Structure 1
Amino acid sequence: MEKTYNPKTIEQHWYQTWEQKGYFTPQNADTPYCIMIPPPNVTGTLHMGHAFQDTLMDLLTRYHRMKGDQTLWQAGTDHAGIATQMVVERQLAADGQTRHDLGREAFVDKIWEWKQESGGHITRQLRRMGASLDWQNERFTMDEGLSEAVREVFVRLYDEGLIYRGKRLVNWDPVLHTAVSDLEVISEEENGSLWHLRYPLADGNGDLIVATTRPETMLGDSAVAVHPDDERYQHLIGKQIALPLTERKIPIIADNYVDPEFGTGCVKITPAHDFNDYAMGQRHDLPLINIFTIDAKLNDNAPAAYQGMDRFVARKQILADLEAAELLVETKPHKLTVPRGDRSQSIIEPFLTDQWFVKVEDLAAPAIKAVEDGRIKFVPDNWKKTYFEWMNNIQDWCISRQLWWGHRIPAWYDENGKFYVGHSEAQVREKYQLAATVKLQQDPDVLDTWFSSALWPFSTLGWPENTERLKAFYPTSVLVTGFDIIFFWVARMIMMGLKFMDDVPFHEIYIHGLIRDAEGQKMSKSKGNVLDPIDLIDGIDLETLLVKRASGLMQPQMAAKIEKDTRKHYPDGIPAFGTDALRFTFAALASTGRDIRFDLGRIEGYRNFCNKLWNATRYVLMNTEGKDSSPTELSLVDRWIISRFQQLSEQVNQHINNYRFDLAANSLYEFTWNEYCDWYLEFSKPMLQSSNPAGTLHTLLHVLEKLLCLLHPFMPFITEELWQRVTNKTDDTIMLQQYPQPEHDKIDPQIQLEIEWVKQFIQGVRRIRAEMDIAPSKPLPILIQNGNADDQQKLAKHENILISLARLDKITWLKKDEEAPESAIALVGEMKILIPLAGLIDKDAELKRLNKEMEKLKKELAKCTAKLENPKFTDRAPAAIVEKERQRVAKMNSSLQQLEQQQTKIRAI
């Protein structure tokens, strides 16, 4: 077995072996277990959020597969309408072409061609993460089976009156020329202005002052609103305004929505260009005046002077004209939330347009009830409040997009604009008894990608056919997802599952947090703090890392700071940590909190953990190879590690079933590192030299094999490699072994207490060695004081182990009243372990060493204390940095106190 653990040499080999042998395909079993992957975009690349989420799903999948369940992790990708269309359009633009040059059919063919060549990047990266998805049954939201499911759902909902076409306000991207979902709109605070405008009363008797951040929309105003109880304006309600720069008059209305405390208490109402105004317009039956074209230029509804202008050019002209007419009162700097398209980065406009909508109120009611009555459980439970809040205020869902790539709306129009809905043109003609002479044109729009994703739990299993996979795996077991798509995906899957399968799509929803950097900041290219999971697996040199961290969005000053920080923290780049270390880190961070701070220090620690496991296995194999390890009489220490392993098995099973992956990982780490690798392997050394080592040989192998099985869902590659070597079962795999379940009859608390006594004894001696700088190899004479009969019995039983591991010369029991020389003391319960210091250490040299160490510590302590006493630091630095500094000061104070105690002891010799 190689001396050094090298993940690169084992990971690719084992994944190819698993996939080729079909181990990811569900095995025949009585109990089904199914997880649906949230389908990643076909254009996507793996980011830290994906890697974290997929690690947790794979952990659950491997766990249930080893438990003997019929386990399916359904693979698949989403066609990602806007993102995919943009990728191919950029390729065409590089050749000086547009999609319109090709035409719709040829352009869609081009996208399919791109998908075949380049669309599998993220699935290859998922394999690098060890994701054991059922690749043999991988689905794509645009494949024929899922497309048929989409058409079936659309037609049924339309026939039931739950889908309709109408003119409503939607998020509109003026660059992409399509409606977009709320999830595709990134709203962030930006610097802007608040303009106060004077609106004259139509009768000439005064005016009202309104405030707006979008003065160009005033050309579409339908009213000015005030609060009905605002005494300043009650006498004006019902009167009219002469809308500046237009020849229109608009009413002054009263509405409770208006906040009298904000601005002047007067609000301009533009129902066609603001969602809140739209709702008010509906309440007061106000006209909807759309002043924009699809590319956000002023249209024919605007005064002639502004027609054809871009919205922001028009804004400048309108403000200039208002100022000239003495109607611009003032301009104030103003922070405002600006909605931008996540793909185009253009400012999104609320836009009035004809779209297809789903009436969701009737679908929402049973979906709410399914969570209320416990058929669906959120983990953590508090997320159901978020779900209810949205579901109880749900709005109709805009499902049409003005794109060419996607599921085309299954509706056909005749020459009079009347439309007919069906699976195909032929079916439409038969359904509506249309003559062959009636010319039909299919709707050019496609469906929102979230529409097909809403069907994912049953469409991927073969619906609308009643397939064996559908019968076996629906409802699925658990959905693993982030809180940010509870509305867009989770809720819609519940509604669609209940509607078309008459059952919930999953029984539990595990909501995980979002990955942030070590300082708690959101990872973004503009901040230069993005980590690529593949770079953490394979490693990356400094110069390549700097290039990846650079972003065109950065100011030069920010780019310079990021380069400086990167060089400081990663002078040689990021080393290769391997997949298992990254996965274990994710599991250890998966608490029930909303945010997860990812620190490279953690992954480095878990890379060391992999080394520890590797070296422990080498030790076991070197000591057991060719020797009889058949079960025989077990020593107390053997029974102790078996007892602790059974407790560990109970804890890990319980934690995984409760989705506390962090607690499971921590339990595994503590047992593996401290109890098995450190203590038991040390205990085994003298026992292997005894006349009857068979029990220890058996226990070394047996516990290691079972421990590898417990660890496998967390760290699949290294555990497979080591399990193969430990068992010599080269035609088998660890991933199909039985997951260890606790054997309660092997748990012995008394043995655990006894071995804990032994460990405290050895630790006490070692602590004194470290404090007094006594060489670890130097045999020590020790004295025992205050020991009782139980202590004497334990000492006699374990004397050989204590002498061997604590490096003792001899052990002497002091009589009850016998006075001890000046000694260093360690306690084991009431019993004192005394190590006489005279003759063991050079008193002068040790005092000199301690003084030097204390002086160094005091200087550093003064420096840190001064920093904390400086308001410039405590007020300006991030709270996490300040707290870290406070913890350093507390730790240094504690260390200084310990050094002073040592100094006092040595002076007394």
Structure 2
Amino acid sequence: MAKELEKQYNPSNFEDKIYKFWCDNKYFHAVKDESKPTYTIVIPPPNITGQLHMGHALDNTLQDILIRYHRMNGYDTLWLPGTDHASIATEAKIVEKMREEGVTKEDIGREKFLERAWDWKETYGNRIIEQLKKMGSSCDWDRERFTLDEGCSNAVRDVFKRLYDEGLIYRGNRMVNWCPHCNTSISDAEVEYEEKEGNFWHLLYPVKETGETLELATTRPETMLGDTAVAINGDDPRYKHLHGCHVILPLINKEIPIVCDEHADMEKGTGVVKITPAHDPNDFEVGLRHNLPIVRTFTYDGHMTGAKEKAIADEIFASGRATQNEPEVLDCGKYAGMTTMEARKAILADLEAGGYIKEIEPLKHDVGTCYRCHSTIEPMVSKQWFVKMEPLAGPAIDAVENGDIKFVPERFKKNYMSWMRGTRNWCISRQLWWGHQIPAWYCEDCGATTVSKEDACECSACKSKNIVQDPDTLDTWFSSALWPFSTLGWPEDTDDLKRYYPTNTLVTGYDIIGFWVSRMIFSGLKYTDKAPFDTVLIHGLVRDAQGRKMSKSLGNGIDPLEIIDQYGADALRFALATGNSPGNDMRFSDDKITSSRNFANKLWNASRFVLMYLGEDYSYNGLPNELLIEDKWIISQVNNLAKEVTENLDKFELGIAIQKLYDFIWDVFCDWYIEIAKIRLQGDDEDAKEQAKAVLVYVLTDILKLLHPFMPFITEEIYQAIPHDSESIMISKWVNYDEALCYDADEAEMEKIMASIRAIRNRRAEMNIPPSKKSKVFVETSNTATFENGVEFIKRLAYANEVQVSEAFGDLGNVVTIITDDARIYIPLGDLVDFEAEKKRLEKEFATAQDKLDFINKKLNNPGFVNKAPEKVVAQNREDAAKLEERIAQIQKSIEEIEQ
């Protein structure tokens, strides 16, 4: 034998050793075997700021199950790992650390800041990778990538240049989502909406020409200083007389026009809306339609603009450097320098004092927040780089509609389609230093823009050397969108790209279909002419035992590393796979992980039992030529199990597959076959012993292989201890269904025997008969041959000391009768019950019941009680008396039966 199993299952003693064994032998490394089909997964790259959480644990467990299954099933398998530079999150971490030192980015400059960032990445960036290894993730670590490595950076610049040359990337002043805390723009997909308490403030704007006031409502009164119009619907009869008129903007006494626009809905409120083009997406579009001024009143760090900001903007206009839609900036006077919330209070107080507030209407509404810091997003007009989405979205929609890419579950196809059809131009520039710096240079002499894949040395227009690179970086998702092919060497035509692209399965959560999945699809189609994967497997969230989302605020988060330390990685993986259903959230509890650990213990102890009988010199030579009915039954069962588990894995029904494995290992193999095998193993027939050993090894090996993708460590440890056909279970051959191993008839006969055993055990349990009390069993059946084969099983598993089988029995006396579909089973009552002890017990029970009845009857025979007690009480006593009389009669009958 190769090794012994310890007496106690203690995963901490072997999990790390096994993982090192796998890595040392390069079992995870894809070797380009042209004789095999390929199966590729690229890991959703975790952030280098990341700490392994339950979402990571679930996502990577599911990927590893699929990878290990396909590796064993004969595929040239690549699971390509890597990490994401995570611009916003990483820069925030570094800035926070610098703040503790009393240093800012501006103090040290971009070059020194990036040196710190790379040092930070080297120190902390691989932490989550090491944690993924603790999970047992069988990634090809020799191919590990990073979104800022040379190859990925080369791909990013190549794509940017191509899109720019095609006119699909442009720079302009457009409405963006601005995070005043992170001090950068973020994309629509990065905005999370939270329901918050708020108000509709109904304001009154005086009309210059008529002297009347127009009522309008806003949830953001602090934006009113930037109003450049009021809109009404041109078809609204209430305001026909105001076409071409103006209102006076309260507080700053500014004249602004009344415009007719469809954005004003006649059915909503008063049908009048304020238009603030610089701070509202819809208002921005109205402003463009009516050529309205765009007036910015917020600074980028969330304060009201003042003289300083106005002077800078004025200088841009004066120099002629202002571009289309360049916003003006307002000196907000007394409100300048206030935060937007401080300004809101001050502006409302002044509006109230001026009589401009008609009503305050409380409401709950969804407020956009930054997905990173959860600060309230301020819509702002800002000069940014954008990708035109419409030309890219079309082919990506077609690829899913025509089935080139499928979603599992299919219902998430709707989410994808909704996102792609409603997508707006993608803002890809971020006001950060950590990331891919935008490869665009601006000429200080002629103002031209030069975009180049390589670092530019001169202006492409006037050849001036006086050029500066755009300081902004690209949205992190810009590089992540290229991940399935940039990681394989694109734009170079590498061997890996030719062999492993397109990939096969993307495993991810439903929360980033818009963030990431959609962008990979349109990018893959655009730059490789191929869909980047054929299947998107969507999983849900891991919630706590009460179904709540795990969060720091609730304090209900579960650290997967702590679970691994206490229970082992296999138990964690098993718990995450159990009950998993594509697309659905799952609950995680202490009970679930304890159950997983108990299952591992059960398998461990069963394996130790088998090894105990094999001995050190045992040699496995395949299944014996002659198989008994119980052997055919278990072999046929495990053969069907292999078929079903394979089908489940191919359909991504991982939760169903692991439940079938659990049921088979615990109930069928451990509780039935091992107990049956003990009859031969503990007998004197050496040939029968060898026969039982061979079948045990065969079935245990198949079980371990089928279970390996889910629980890789324990299966490897046990596999190495029993006779095995490969140097590692993870590169052994998957268990394939074999028609020749279908013993349907024998299975059916064995099930008849098992049904009788279950029936006997159930009846004994109902009668509270302990297993130690043996009994005779008489089996009356037309299938005598079947039950003759099962006599020893019935003896052992149904606690019988003697079993007789016949087509018919005579009078057996006082017996317990049990009926199954195939037999009538009789057990002498005297074998189950000590009559004298039972008689004494019944007589005691009779006396107790009689005393209670006498007491109740005494009350019922008392006219004072019957006449004075509440009717409900009297009725209850009579009901209790009737029940006691019935019970006493039953006890008396039982005593009489014993005395016969």
Please give the alpha-carbon distance, in whole angstroms, between the structure 1 residues aligned to 2:711 and 2:697. Answer: 19
1:351 to 2:380 alignment: yes
1:420 to 2:461 alignment: no
Q: Which amino acid aligns with 1:324?
A: A
**Does the CA-based 8 Å contact 1:246-1:303 persist in structure 2?**
no
| Partner residue in 1 for 2:541 | 514
**Does the CA-based 8 Å contact 1:75-1:134 persist in structure 2?**
yes
Please give the alpha-carbon distance, in whole angstroms, between the structure 2 residues aligned to 1:376 and 1:847. Answer: 72
**Does the CA-based 8 Å contact 1:422-1:428 persist in structure 2?**
no
The one of 46, 50, 56 aligned to 2:52 = 46
**Does the CA-based 8 Å contact 2:570-2:710 persist in structure 1?**
yes
**Does the CA-based 8 Å contact 1:258-1:267 persist in structure 2?**
yes
TM-superposed CA distance for 1:423, in Å, is: 1.8
Cα deviation digits, residues 206-227 of structure 1 (max 9, x gap): 2122221110111112333345
Q: Which amino acid aligns with 1:13?
A: K
In the TM superposition, 1:729-744 aligns within 5 A as 732-744=727-739
TM-superposed CA distance for 1:240, in Å, is: 2.5
| Partner residue in 1 for 2:645 | 652
Cα deviation digits, residues 169-222 of structure 1 (max 9, x gap): 111111222111234333211222321211222224321222211101111123
Please give the alpha-carbon distance, in whole angstroms, between the structure 2 residues aligned to 1:827 and 1:283. Answer: 85
Partner of 1:420, secondary structure, is strand
Q: Which amino acid aligns with 1:331?
A: I
The one of 700, 720, 725 aligned to 1:724 = 720
> CA 1:616/1:817 → structure 2, altered by over 3 Å: closer, same or farther?
closer
The one of 678, 695, 699 aligned to 1:685 = 678
The one of 41, 59, 63 aligned to 1:35 = 41
> CA 1:210/1:660 → structure 2, altered by over 3 Å: closer, same or farther?
same
| Partner residue in 1 for 2:614 | 624
Please give the alpha-carbon distance, in whole angstroms, between the structure 2 residues aligned to 1:195 and 1:665. Answer: 57
The one of 549, 552, 575 aligned to 1:525 = 552
The one of 255, 273, 281 aligned to 1:275 = 281
Partner of 2:489, secondary structure, is coil
1:324 to 2:353 alignment: yes
Cα deviation digits, residues 565-624 of structure 1 (max 9, x gap): xxxxxxxxxxx2211011112112321343222232122111111001101100111112
> CA 1:388/1:749 → structure 2, altered by over 3 Å: closer, same or farther?
same
Q: Which amino acid aligns with 2:486?
A: S
The one of 631, 648, 655 aligned to 1:638 = 631
Please give the alpha-carbon distance, in whole angstroms, between the structure 1 residues aligned to 2:393 and 2:451. Answer: 24
Please give the alpha-carbon distance, in whole angstroms, between the structure 1 residues aligned to 2:58 and 2:17. Answer: 23
1:700 to 2:696 alignment: yes
TM-superposed CA distance for 1:822, in Å, is: 5.1
TM-superposed CA distance for 1:347, in Å, is: 1.7
In the TM superposition, 1:816-827 aligns within 5 A as 821=813, 823-827=815-819
The one of 185, 210, 213 aligned to 1:179 = 185
> CA 1:780/1:238 → structure 2, altered by over 3 Å: closer, same or farther?
farther
| Partner residue in 2 for 1:892 | none
TM-superposed CA distance for 1:418, in Å, is: 2.3
| Partner residue in 2 for 1:449 | 476
TM-superposed CA distance for 1:433, in Å, is: 6.3
> CA 1:238/1:824 → structure 2, altered by over 3 Å: closer, same or farther?
farther
Q: Which amino acid aligns with 1:707?
A: I
> CA 1:518/1:805 → structure 2, altered by over 3 Å: closer, same or farther?
same
Partner of 2:803, secondary structure, is strand
> CA 1:34/1:627 → structure 2, altered by over 3 Å: closer, same or farther?
closer
**Does the CA-based 8 Å contact 1:245-1:303 persist in structure 2?**
no
| Partner residue in 1 for 2:587 | 597
Q: Which amino acid aligns with 1:193?
A: N
1:3 to 2:7 alignment: yes
> CA 1:834/1:39 → structure 2, altered by over 3 Å: closer, same or farther?
same
Please give the alpha-carbon distance, in whole angstroms, between the structure 2 residues aligned to 1:743 and 1:675. Answer: 20
Cα deviation digits, residues 397-421 of structure 1 (max 9, x gap): 1000000100000011111432110
**Does the CA-based 8 Å contact 1:768-1:825 persist in structure 2?**
no
**Does the CA-based 8 Å contact 2:794-2:803 persist in structure 1?**
no
Moved more, 693-702 or 251-260: 251-260
| Partner residue in 2 for 1:24 | 28
| Partner residue in 1 for 2:318 | none
Please give the alpha-carbon distance, in whole angstroms, between the structure 1 residues aligned to 2:145 and 2:822. Answer: 66
**Does the CA-based 8 Å contact 1:219-1:302 persist in structure 2?**
no
Q: Which amino acid aligns with 1:808?
A: A
> CA 1:292/1:700 → structure 2, altered by over 3 Å: closer, same or farther?
same
Q: Which amino acid aligns with 2:829?
A: L
**Does the CA-based 8 Å contact 1:271-1:289 persist in structure 2?**
yes
Moved more, 457-466 or 292-301: 292-301
| Partner residue in 2 for 1:107 | 113
| RMSD over aligned Cα atoms | 2.5
1:669 to 2:665 alignment: no
Cα deviation digits, residues 443-490 of structure 1 (max 9, x gap): 100000000001101110111111100100010011111111111211
TM (normalized to structure 1)? 0.86
In the alignment, structure 2 segments of 5+ residues that lack a partner are 311-329, 847-886
TM-superposed CA distance for 1:712, in Å, is: 0.6
| Partner residue in 2 for 1:768 | 763
Moved more, 444-453 or 372-381: 372-381
Please give the alpha-carbon distance, in whole angstroms, between the structure 2 residues aligned to 1:717 and 1:845. Answer: 57
Moved more, 139-148 or 19-28: 19-28
In the TM superposition, 1:746-765 aligns within 5 A as 746-765=741-760
Please give the alpha-carbon distance, in whole angstroms, between the structure 1 residues aligned to 2:410 and 2:644. Answer: 22
Please give the alpha-carbon distance, in whole angstroms, between the structure 1 residues aligned to 2:839 and 2:537. Answer: 62
Cα deviation digits, residues 699-739 of structure 1 (max 9, x gap): 1001111211111100000000000001267x811110011
Please give the alpha-carbon distance, in whole angstroms, between the structure 1 residues aligned to 2:502 and 2:791. Answer: 60
Please give the alpha-carbon distance, in whole angstroms, between the structure 2 residues aligned to 1:845 and 1:69. Answer: 71
Partner of 2:144, secondary structure, is strand
| Partner residue in 2 for 1:490 | 517
Please give the alpha-carbon distance, in whole angstroms, between the structure 2 residues aligned to 1:290 and 1:848. Answer: 96
> CA 1:318/1:848 → structure 2, altered by over 3 Å: closer, same or farther?
farther
In the TM superposition, 1:297-308 aligns within 5 A as 297-299=303-305, 300=310, 301-308=330-337
**Does the CA-based 8 Å contact 1:764-1:833 persist in structure 2?**
no
**Does the CA-based 8 Å contact 1:478-1:506 persist in structure 2?**
yes
Q: Which amino acid aligns with 2:741?
A: K
| Partner residue in 2 for 1:126 | 132
Please give the alpha-carbon distance, in whole angstroms, between the structure 1 residues aligned to 2:259 and 2:893. Answer: 86
| Partner residue in 1 for 2:710 | 714
Q: Which amino acid aligns with 1:763?
A: R
Partner of 1:168, secondary structure, is strand
TM-superposed CA distance for 1:821, in Å, is: 4.9
Please give the alpha-carbon distance, in whole angstroms, between the structure 2 residues aligned to 1:486 and 1:592. Answer: 14
Q: Which amino acid aligns with 2:453?
A: H
| Partner residue in 2 for 1:502 | 529
Partner of 1:103, secondary structure, is helix
| Partner residue in 2 for 1:477 | 504
In the TM superposition, 1:135-534 aligns within 5 A as 135-227=141-233, 230-299=236-305, 300=310, 301-416=330-445, 417-426=447-456, 432=460, 434-435=462-463, 437-534=464-561
Compare CA radii of gyration and give the structure with the larger one.
2
**Does the CA-based 8 Å contact 1:210-1:267 persist in structure 2?**
yes
Partner of 1:526, secondary structure, is coil
1:577 to 2:573 alignment: no
Q: Which amino acid aligns with 1:364?
A: A
Please give the alpha-carbon distance, in whole angstroms, between the structure 2 residues aligned to 1:407 and 1:83. Answer: 15
**Does the CA-based 8 Å contact 1:628-1:697 persist in structure 2?**
no
> CA 1:321/1:391 → structure 2, altered by over 3 Å: closer, same or farther?
same
Please give the alpha-carbon distance, in whole angstroms, between the structure 2 residues aligned to 1:283 and 1:823. Answer: 95
| Partner residue in 2 for 1:566 | none
| Partner residue in 2 for 1:15 | 19
Partner of 2:525, secondary structure, is helix
Q: Which amino acid aligns with 1:700?
A: L
> CA 1:423/1:469 → structure 2, altered by over 3 Å: closer, same or farther?
same
